[in-house]
Amino acid sequence: MSNTVIIGLQWGDEGKGKVVDLLTPGADAVVRFQGGNNAGHTLVIDGQKRVLHLVPSGVLHEKCLCIVGDGVVVDPKVLIDEIEGLKSAGFLKKQAQLCISEKSHVIFPYHVRIDQLWEEKRGTNAIGTTGRGIGPCYEDKISRRGIRMGDLVDSKALKRRLAEVLPEKNEYLEKVLGNKTPFSENEVYEQYNTYGRYLKHYCQDTNGILQKLVGEKRSLLFEGAQGVGLDLDHGTYPFVTSSSTVSGGVMTGAGVPPRAIDEVLGVAKAYATRVGRGPFPTELHDATGEHLQNKGAEFGSTTGRRRRCGWIDLFWMKHAVWLTGCTRMAITKLDVLSGLENIKAAVGYQLNGKKLTAPPSRIEDWEKAEAVYETFSGWSENLEKITRFSALPKACQSYLKAVEDFVGVPISLISVGPERSAHFYREA
């Protein structure tokens, strides 16, 4: 197998975790390269549901090396809980199966508090973050005040770094955000030093490991978190996350050269969802939106929030395919569309009566952009047991062909239910 990047083409929760799990048997390693525990990647196997936030979604396959790369922000408590949960379920039997980059940045409780208090302060303009401290941790990284995993696992370095950073954080929290209870340097140190001692055994030079794997021509999967619509530069700024969710993020976040990547697999739902605030031109506030919400069980895997639902946005997806160099697509949740009389897909945007040639840059334009639709016939058949493309209802086949024609890359994998087994590859 070749080295493949898995990227969400929409606003996250496309089913990336399931796709990574499906492709893992052909891979030697799965690598997370950005984001943190804002991600929630769901795997359902024989009715047993498991949501992963930091550990790569290949972990259920014993032989697969799982790498949390340099560009990830790591909440050590969440990671330890996840490791313990996996171990007690009989996974991650060998410590060597999981490697955490010593360059990854650590999320501290002050990041979480800053994230939450900023959201409160923004009031009706809140972004609707996951409240996990992701943005504030990346802010510290960019401003070169971050504490990295390599510092966390070294007691002296941790003490020194906290002594430099914490007084400033307490002052900022109190003066800018009105926080009344400062963090005690000693308490944070004691608690995080314990986490550091636990994680020390997993902490490694992951870039060195990747250099070796690439040199040996091993097969790698790079597991994206979030989606292109949430990319810091290319998404619906400021309603985005704080990392590069496009395939370029692999180069910076895992530290591999572009020529090490062979394929980019874009994952998209057969409709669209978004959690948190931000523009969503195809959003539905009617019975069809309710159908998607209920049938698709659209609640956030990380925060449990209700996901906003709407029609698939092919105009956006075509742009996301360009941004990521996507070579093929996986379409998930096709089963959820069964039972709708007609299905719509956005094939363009209009702004102030004019057709746009690309999605807008400015948030004011995003908020005014109106989707232009093409309408397709629906189907009523249940798809969950279907195992080949030619067995799909004809209307469903036409819909999928229209998706790949518009977006310009083939669909190679189709998912028709949450279970691992509910999927098939496209016949040649």
State the residues that interact with ligand IMO by CB under 6 A.
Answer: 8, 12-13, 38-41, 127-130, 132, 134-135, 225-227, 230, 241-242, 275-276, 301
**Rounded to whole angstroms, how far apart are CA atoms 224 and 266?**
10
Residue number, nearest CB to ligand GDP: 42
C-alpha distances (whole Å) from 130 to each of 105, 113, 239, 294, 303 are 18, 12, 12, 22, 7
Residue type at position 47? G
Nearer to Mg ion, 14 or 115 (CB): 14
Q: Say how many CA atoms lie within 13 Å of 307 toward its Cβ.
A: 23
Nearer to ligand GDP, 8 or 56 (CB): 8
Residue of 38, 272, 59 lying closest to 132 (CA atoms): 38
**Residue 416, binding choice from Mg ion, ligand IMO, ligand GDP, none, Cβ under 5 to 8 Å by partner class:** ligand GDP
| Beta pairing class for 220-223 and 29-32 | parallel
Q: How far is the CB of 397 from Mg ion (least distance, A)?
A: 28
Q: Could you confirm whether 61 is annotated as catalytic? A: no
Secondary structure class of 11 (helix, strand, coil): coil
129 within 8 A of 107, measured Cβ to Cβ: no
Give, rounded to a whole angstrom, the gap between the first and last alpha carbons of the chain: 17
Greatest extent of the chain over all pairs of C-alpha atoms, in Å: 65
**Residue 319, binding choice from ligand IMO, ligand GDP, Mg ion, none, Cβ under 5 to 8 Å by partner class:** none
Catalytic option among 13, 28, 151, 313: 13
273 within 8 A of 299, measured Cβ to Cβ: no
**Rounded to whole angstroms, how far apart are CA atoms 195 and 84?**
13
Q: How far is the CB of 385 from ligand IMO (least distance, A)?
A: 27
Nearer to ligand IMO, 39 or 268 (CB): 39
Stretch that binds Mg ion, among 3-11, 32-40, 147-155, 337-345 (CB under 5 A): 32-40
Q: How far is the CB of 62 from ligand GDP (least distance, A)?
A: 21
Tokens of 319: 């742009």
Across-strand partners of 314? Answer: none
Nearer to ligand IMO, 196 or 227 (CB): 227
Q: How far is the CB of 36 from Mg ion (least distance, A)?
A: 13
Report the residue from 15, 36, 40, 266 that binds Mg ion according to the rule CB under 5 A: 40
Q: Say how many CA atoms lie within 13 Å of 34 toward its Cβ.
A: 28
45 within 8 A of 236, measured Cβ to Cβ: no
Q: How far is the CB of 96 from Mg ion (least distance, A)?
A: 27
How many binding residues for Mg ion (CB under 5 A)?
3
98 within 8 A of 60, measured Cβ to Cβ: no
**Rounded to whole angstroms, how far apart are CA atoms 162 and 185?**
7
Nearer to ligand GDP, 162 or 400 (CB): 400
**Residue 275, binding choice from ligand IMO, ligand GDP, Mg ion, none, Cβ under 5 to 8 Å by partner class:** ligand IMO
**Rounded to whole angstroms, how far apart are CA atoms 250 and 248?**
5
**Residue 241, binding choice from ligand IMO, Mg ion, ligand GDP, none, Cβ under 5 to 8 Å by partner class:** ligand IMO
Q: How far is the CB of 307 from ligand GDP (least distance, A)?
A: 9
Tokens of 122: 């923004």
**Contact positions toward ligand GDP, by CB under 6 A?**
8, 12-18, 40-42, 44, 296, 301, 332-333, 335-336, 415-418
Stretch that binds Mg ion, among 5-13, 108-116, 335-343, 410-418 (CB under 5 A): 5-13
**Residue 34, binding choice from Mg ion, ligand GDP, ligand IMO, none, Cβ under 5 to 8 Å by partner class:** none
Stretch that binds Mg ion, among 74-82, 286-294, 300-308, 416-424 (CB under 5 A): 300-308
Nearer to ligand IMO, 41 or 426 (CB): 41
Stretch that binds Mg ion, among 7-15, 87-95, 206-214, 401-409 (CB under 5 A): 7-15
Q: Could you confirm whether 13 is annotated as catalytic? A: yes
133 within 8 A of 108, measured Cβ to Cβ: yes
| Beta pairing class for 342-351 and 370-377 | antiparallel
Nearer to ligand GDP, 218 or 295 (CB): 295
Q: Does 13 bind Mg ion (CB under 5 A)?
A: yes
Catalytic option among 21, 41, 111, 140: 41
**Rounded to whole angstroms, how far apart are CA atoms 307 and 42?**
15
The total number of residues shown for the chain amounts to: 428
Active site residues: 13, 41
